[in-house]
Amino acid sequence: MKTQFMLLVLGLIAGLMTHSSALAATDQTVLEQKSKLLGRELSVRQEYGSVPSGKGVQTVTQVQFIGTPKPLLDARVEYVPPVITSAAPAATPQDPLSSLITNTKHDFYVSGIRIWSDEMGYKDGSLFYSGGVAPTSIPIPVLTYPIGPLVLELDAGVEFEAQLLAKLTPSISFPFTDSSLAASLSAEAAASGFVEGSARILVIRAGIGGAINIVQGDASVGAVIFFKKQAPELTYGGKVSVLSGKIYAFVDTNILFGIWTHLWSANLYAWNGKCWAFGAESCAVN
């Protein structure tokens, strides 16, 4: 049964990615398939049609097993034509590549939580790809101890994020041997852990927390390659820092919409940890 479930989901995603780009901008189609998994009904619903601008298509896949439908995949392919003003057309030359390359966007979900987003296309004279994990926090309640109207709480958790950007920029000149190609790749990632102890009464809570940076790093590399016989220009840089952190005090309230938000916070103590840098980067604290 698990194999049937995986084949069903993978088959639907493959069908979306294969057929959605062939749709006319005015089409709007909804498909739904149902099956049984562990004695419960499993439904996979896919919708695809035109983007709001009418210059592309988008697909949305949702899975419903228990409870409300959860998004699984949100993909968009959109054609973005160059902007040419009628007042001065000669001053705004049209880039031929911008009319040949489409921009694509994808959001991937697990249990309704977006775990990866990426975008690929052509912008400002460069082919680009960017993707990453949005800043995500996973809290883990450790202890809740009521004393009359007062509630003592101890929470822990982890936070993480990542980003990747790649660019390829051609520069065409005449004669053709004077042309060049620039390429760059940069990446960032961070992960940290935190612990908070607080006392809560009604819609106010106050406490002390500690956060430690497990790892935080970035790296970049670039190259300009010349068509004529000339050595390429190379650049690189990056840094990695670990075990920096802080101890802080805070006051929160959930008087609005039942969501805890900071009223006040202040760092009580902070330390820098270890840092290693190379290339053009520096470990200097801003």
pTM of the model: 0.62
Give residue limits of the domains in the chain: 1-123, 135-286
Per CATH, domain 1-123 is 1.10.3470: no
Residue 240 exposed, middle or buried by CB count within 10 Å (0-12, 13-18, 19+): middle
Residue 163 exposed, middle or buried by CB count within 10 Å (0-12, 13-18, 19+): middle
pLDDT tens sequence for the chain (286 residues): 444 444 444 444 444 444 433 333 345 677 777 777 667 777 877 777 777 777 677 777 777 766 677 776 677 666 555 444 444 444 445 555 555 566 788 777 766 667 788 888 888 888 899 999 888 888 888 999 998 889 999 999 999 999 999 999 988 888 877 889 999 999 999 999 999 999 999 889 999 999 999 999 999 999 998 888 788 888 889 999 999 999 999 999 988 777 788 889 999 999 989 999 988 788 876 5
| DSSP secondary structure of 133-189 | EEEEEEEEEEEEEEETTEEEEEEEEEEEEEEEEEEEEEE--SSGGG-EEEEEEEEEE
List, in sequence order, every beta strand (DSSP E) within the chain: 28-37, 40-50, 56-64, 70-78, 103-110, 113-123, 126-147, 150-171, 180-201, 204-226, 233-242, 244-253, 261-271, 274-279
